[in-house]
Amino acid sequence: MAPPTPLTATPHLLAFLQDLHSKSLNQESKIEWNSLPGQTTNEFDNIMRDKFIALDQDKCELIYHMLRSINATTIVEAGTSFGVSTIYLALAAAQNAARGAGTSTSSTGRVVATEKEPSKAAEAQKNWQQVGEEIQGVIDLRIGDLRETLGKDLGTVDFLLLDIWTPLALPALKLVEPHFRPGAMVIADNTVKAAAGYAELFAYVDAPGSQFRRVTMPYAGGLDMIVYQ
Ligand SMILES: C[S@@+](CC[C@H](N)C(=O)[O-])C[C@H]1O[C@@H](n2cnc3c(N)ncnc32)[C@H](O)[C@@H]1O
């Protein structure tokens, strides 16, 4: 029997997410991973422009569960693509905000989503139109290079998802770092499989005196959980 989903969501939303993940996996099965050009090249972007490359469903569900646990209401996503993981982030942020409404820790939910390809951002917005205003309404989509778009109006950040080409991981972390609350969490995907690409991020996070601590979790390709102390 399939394990229960951690999501508090309608059957319609669960089915919609399932469909998006299936489409993403179907595309990924046709990518020649071993012959891809280097990340952050135009050739690589051309291949990826019509691809979901969505975060795996089990990782999305874990992240949603974590967000509900740490009561994250302000979330940053580095790398949005067609907006699949964003739906999980926005669902959690909206539900956390609703849970805190009227209390002393009341906060508006917000997910700052980042995508540099306008055509991918447009696809993400189409997908979000399917999930309802409660979820869509918390998403603040910033179209353009995150090294520019994350430079302002972040507020106090509870959580950062690094699901981005690895050369962008450290620049994204450094832009968000001044906004982290103590105990803020960062999740980085594919950290074992793409360990070489993450070398700079790890050197920064693991450096003596760093405010960060991390653990690698045994999800496909490796998934790092980094906590800002
Ligand atoms: C792995 S995908 C994100 C998948 C998404 N998190 C999901 O689960 O659906 C990474 C995305 O980052 C985008 N990207 C790459 N470089 C970027 C940059 N400098 N600024 C903003 N987005 C960028 C790519 O276009 C790509 O769509």
pLDDT for 145-196, tens place per residue? 999 999 999 999 999 999 999 999 999 999 999 999 999 999 999 999 999 9
The Å distance, Cα 104 to ligand 1 centre, comes to: 35
Q: Is the CB of 168 under 6 A from ligand 1?
A: yes
**81 C-alpha to center of ligand 1: Å?**
5
Q: Where in the sequence is the domain holding 109, given as residue range(s)?
A: 11-22+54-228
Assign residue 95 the CATH number of its domain.
3.40.50.150
Q: For 96-142, how does the pLDDT look when each residue is reduced to its tens digit (9 = 90+)? A: 999 988 888 788 999 999 999 999 999 999 999 999 999 999 999 99
Tell me, yes or no, whether 39 lies in a domain.
no
Confidence of residue 81 (pLDDT cuts 50, 70, 90): very high
In a domain, 71, yes or no: yes
Residue 8 Rama label (left phi>0; alpha psi -120 to 50; beta): beta
59 lines ligand 1 (CB under 6 A): no
Degrees to nearest 5, angle at CA 222 with 182 and 123: 80
pLDDT at 222 over 90: yes
In a domain, 202, yes or no: yes
Is 38 inside any structural domain? no
Residue 201 lies in a domain: yes
- Mean residue pLDDT of the chain comes to 96
Give the pLDDT band of residue 39 (cuts 50, 70, 90).
Answer: confident
165 lines ligand 1 (CB under 6 A): yes
ipTM, interface predicted TM-score of the complex: 0.99
Helices (H), the chain: 11-28, 42-48, 57-70, 84-100, 118-128, 133-136, 146-149, 169-176, 199-206
Domain assignment of residue 130, yes or no:
yes
* Domain-embedded: residue 136: yes
Is a pLDDT exceeding 80 seen at residue 2? no
Give me the number of domains the chain comprises.
1
Ligand 1 contact via 79 beta carbon (within 6 Å): yes
* Unique residue bearing structure tokens 């989503």: 113
Look at residue 41 and tell me if it is in a domain.
Answer: no
Q: How far is the CA of 11 from the centre of ligand 1 (A)?
A: 28
Ligand 1, residues 46, 116, 159, 187: which to mutate, most atoms within 8 A of Cβ? Answer: 116
- pLDDT tens-digit profile of 11-21? 999 999 999 99
Q: Is 102 left (phi over 0), alpha (psi -120 to 50) or beta?
A: left
pLDDT computed for residue 40 by the predictor: 83
Cβ(54) to ligand 1 under 6 A?
A: yes
Cβ(81) to ligand 1 under 6 A?
Answer: yes
pLDDT of residue 112: 98
Q: Is the CB of 111 under 6 A from ligand 1?
A: no
